């Protein structure tokens, strides 16, 4: 027997309608390309988003047609988020930090019909356009200078197109319809496309707003630090409109600590989300300038492991609660968030830190399990470590036009991460399978070693990689960035620092000091680059 409730499709346009009706005067603030501040309301934004839909109709962009964007976090990008998806087309957010050949690959693979780009990407676009025959139109989001890019004579002006368009009507259609496309960064092989649907996006937005998740609400002011070209800025552009939170976009300055701190102060930011590398820069800036974060009460940190030293500094110096989170492009992206349970809420000191450094428990809707190499379920005891598998309505079930089934096993997605789960359901990620270090047949957690190294007062940042060893197969080495004024004999001091904190055979064999850790296109430390450079390091041990 079926239930007798209304069968309303879960569509992104319903988020937009709700935002306009209930929070129409809520502000959206953006830093523009020239560094100025632009502000308008949810109502203004959605009105222009409907004009984007008509613009796409006028250009003859097909139903389900892919619309590429090369843009930072801004109000215009938000207009595209809604205007493209709500008119039954697919928003393909393109990560400009990828290599040129990867960009050509994904634009052609997605068969983008039009690309909306910011003028600062003109040179890049002029190189790409010659290699991407499907792209029929180019639209520049800001004042376009013909001198900026060759082969771009035909680029159209976004404002002119919008001004010439009526507000389109957003019709109903199936909630399964594709809404967005985001490619993984392709550290191994070609990037793979993750195709979100309206249904997955709406359900994920509800999940982001839950109190034991990122808990967005109508009294929040949200700073989006994660780029809108990477996994929909963790879903904030949808969740904030659903909740009625003020939305603040740092534009192209999303990695600039001064801009972020200025925005936090001037726009009364209560919450934000970003990868550890960005927060690292922000905390150093605050320290140097003797500033405190008054309005911010919590921040979601994820994308790679958040060092406990960062959680501690946020808590002790700024009274900000770090909500460690974990997710993937394939999961829209949020899967785990570390919010308290009754039994963890009063922890302090080391007990607090060892709880807070866990990546969290699954948000409702996401199911997880850990398995051993034979596929057997492992118990949730905080000790057994295995491959982490997930499933849920916002987890991808296959890649876009790709024949890779390896990651999908009987309705579960193999995340490629290695984890343990404690009796309360909190997950601790110990490594990425491809980063794991196996020494003498036993696993060593690089994340645990990095956390210890990062807690040393003279260490700015660090990464642990495995290098080939003739006897032990692999051994860990530590690559680290020193703080200014660090002591002279830091290598010995650091290796001593590990004594009594981990088993002897876990202690790295060597420390290599470098000026800066290499980053991936999504702002994470690139272990691939480190391995390529230091894979022979054991020969100098």
Binding residues vs ligand ADP (CB under 6 A): 184-185, 187, 302-305, 324-326, 328-329, 333, 359, 415-417, 429, 432, 522, 524
Q: Which among 184, 201, 270, 329 is annotated as catalytic?
A: 184
Q: How far is the CB of 281 from ligand ADP (least distance, A)?
A: 18
Q: What gap in Å lies between CA 17 and CA 202, rounded to an integer?
A: 13
Q: What gap in Å lies between CA 205 and CA 199, rounded to an integer?
A: 10
Q: How far is the CB of 224 from ligand ADP (least distance, A)?
A: 15
For β-strands 298-301 and 246-249, DSSP reports them as unpaired
Q: How far is the CB of 371 from ligand ADP (least distance, A)?
A: 16
Q: Which among 258, 292, 434, 438 is annotated as catalytic?
A: 438
Indicate the DSSP class of residue 219.
T
Q: How far is the CB of 355 from ligand ADP (least distance, A)?
A: 14
Q: Which is nearer to ligand ADP, 250 or 307 (CB)?
A: 307
Q: What share of the chain is helix, strand, coil (3-state, %, to 5)?
A: 35, 25, 40
Rg (CA), the chain: 23
Q: In what order do the strands lie in the sheet with 511-513?
A: 459-469, 473-482, 511-513
Do you know the residue count of the chain?
Answer: 541
Positive or negative: CA dihedral 408, 410, 416, 417 = positive
For β-strands 408-409 and 412-421, DSSP reports them as antiparallel
For β-strands 437-439 and 321-327, DSSP reports them as unpaired
Positive or negative: CA dihedral 103, 104, 108, 112 = positive
Per the annotation, the verdict on 506 as an active-site residue is: no
Q: Which is nearer to ligand ADP, 253 or 395 (CB)?
A: 395
Q: Which is nearer to ligand ADP, 119 or 479 (CB)?
A: 479
H-helix or E-strand spanning residue 272: strand 271-274
Q: Which is nearer to ligand ADP, 98 or 248 (CB)?
A: 98
Per the annotation, the verdict on 184 as an active-site residue is: yes
Q: What gap in Å lies between CA 530 and CA 181, rounded to an integer?
A: 30
Of 49, 69, 31, 32, give the one whose Cα is nearest residue 143: 32
Q: How far is the CB of 520 from ligand ADP (least distance, A)?
A: 6
H-helix or E-strand spanning residue 68: strand 66-70
Q: Which is nearer to ligand ADP, 85 or 329 (CB)?
A: 329
Q: In what order do the strands lie in the sheet with 37-41?
A: 37-41, 27-31, 246-249, 221-224, 271-274, 298-301, 321-327, 334-337, 361-362
Q: How far is the CB of 230 from ligand ADP (least distance, A)?
A: 7
Q: Which is nearer to ligand ADP, 13 or 358 (CB)?
A: 358
Q: Helix or strand or coil: residue 270?
A: coil
Q: Which is nearer to ligand ADP, 94 or 114 (CB)?
A: 94
Q: Which among 113, 330, 448, 450 is annotated as catalytic?
A: 330
Q: Which is nearer to ligand ADP, 26 or 524 (CB)?
A: 524
Print the SS3 string covering 150-178: CCCCCCEEHHHHHHCCCCCCCCCCCCCCE
Q: How far is the CB of 104 from ligand ADP (least distance, A)?
A: 19
Q: How far is the CB of 228 from ligand ADP (least distance, A)?
A: 14
Q: Residue 247 has which token pair?
A: 């939305």
Q: How far is the CB of 521 from ligand ADP (least distance, A)?
A: 7
Q: Residue 465 has which token pair?
A: 């990689």
φ, ψ at 48 (rounded to 5°): -70, -30
Of 431, 421, 426, give the one whose Cα is nearest residue 451: 431
Question: Which position's Cβ is nearest ligand ADP?
Answer: 329
Q: At how many degrees (to 10) do helices 490-498 and 446-454 cross?
A: 120
Q: What gap in Å lies between CA 263 and CA 269, rounded to an integer?
A: 7
Q: Which is nearer to ligand ADP, 128 or 305 (CB)?
A: 305
Q: How far is the CB of 135 from ligand ADP (least distance, A)?
A: 24
φ, ψ at 462 (rounded to 5°): -155, 165
Q: How far is CA 412 from CA 137, 206, 367, in A?
A: 39, 22, 9
Per the annotation, the verdict on 497 as an active-site residue is: no
Q: Which is nearer to ligand ADP, 46 or 336 (CB)?
A: 336
Q: Which among 187, 443, 473, 493 is annotated as catalytic?
A: 443
Per the annotation, the verdict on 299 as an active-site residue is: no
Cite the active site residues. 184, 330, 438, 443
């Amino acid at each position: 027997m079926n239930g007798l409730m209304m069968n309303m499709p879960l569509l992104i346009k319903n988020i937009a309608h709700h935002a306009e009706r209930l929070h129409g005067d809520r502000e959206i603030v953006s830093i523009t390309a020239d560094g100025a501040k632009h502000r308008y309301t949810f109502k203004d934004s959605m009105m222009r988003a409907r004009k984007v839909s008509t613009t796409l109709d006028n250009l003859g962009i097909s139903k389900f047609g892919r619309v590429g964007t090369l843009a930072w976090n801004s109000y215009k990008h938000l207009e595209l988020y809604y205007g493209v998806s709500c008119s039954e087309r697919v928003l393909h957010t393109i990560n400009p930090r990828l290599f040129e050949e990867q960009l050509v690959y994904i634009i052609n693979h997605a068969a983008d019909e039009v690309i909306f780009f910011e003028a600062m990407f003109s040179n890049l676009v002029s190189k790409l356009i010659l290699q991407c025959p499907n792209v029929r139109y180019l639209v520049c989001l800001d004042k376009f200078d013909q001198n900026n890019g060759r082969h771009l004579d035909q680029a159209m002006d976004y404002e002119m197109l919008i001004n010439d368009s009526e507000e389109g009507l957003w019709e109903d259609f199936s909630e399964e319809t594709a809404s967005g496309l985001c490619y993984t960064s392709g550290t191994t092989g070609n990037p793979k496309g993750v195709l979100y649907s309206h249904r997955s996006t709406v359900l994920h937005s509800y999940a982001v707003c839950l109190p034991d998740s990122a808990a967005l609400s109508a009294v929040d002011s949200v700073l989006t630090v994660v780029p809108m070209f990477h996994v929909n800025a963790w879903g904030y552009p949808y969740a904030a409109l659903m909740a009625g939170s003020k939305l603040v976009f740092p534009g192209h300055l999303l990695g600039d600590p001064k801009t972020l701190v200025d925005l936090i102060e001037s726009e009364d930011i209560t919450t934000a989300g970003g990868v550890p590398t960005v927060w690292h820069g922000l905390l150093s800036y605050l320290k140097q300038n003797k500033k405190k974060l008054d309005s911010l009460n919590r921040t979601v940190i994820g994308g790679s492991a958040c060092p406990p030293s960062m959680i501690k500094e946020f808590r002790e110096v700024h009274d900000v609660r770090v909500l460690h989170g974990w997710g993937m492009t394939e999961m829209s992206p949020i899967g785990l968030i570390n919010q308290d349970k009754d039994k963890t809420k009063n922890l302090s000191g080391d007990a607090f830190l060892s709880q807070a450094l866990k990546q969290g428990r699954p948000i409702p809707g996401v199911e997880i399990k850990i398995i051993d190499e034979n596929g057997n379920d492992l118990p949730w005891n905080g000790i057994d470590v295995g491959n982490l598998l997930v499933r849920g309505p916002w987890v991808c079930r296959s890649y876009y036009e790709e024949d890779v089934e390896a990651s999908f096993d009987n309705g579960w997605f193999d995340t490629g991460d290695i984890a343990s789960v404690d009796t309360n359901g909190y997950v601790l990620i110990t490594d990425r399978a491809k980063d794991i270090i196996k020494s003498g047949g036993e696993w060593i957690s690089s994340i645990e070693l990095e956390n210890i190294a990062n807690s040393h007062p003279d260490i700015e940042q660090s990464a642990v990689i495995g290098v080939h060893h003739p006897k032990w197969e692999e051994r860990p080495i530590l690559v680290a960035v020193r703080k200014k004024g660090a002591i002279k004999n830091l290598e010995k001091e650091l290796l001593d620092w590990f004594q009594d904190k981990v088993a002897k055979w876990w202690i790295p064999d060597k420390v290599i000091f470098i000026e800066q850790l290499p980053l991936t296109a999504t702002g994470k430390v690139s272990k691939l680059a480190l391995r390529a450079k230091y894979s022979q390091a054991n020969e100098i041990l």
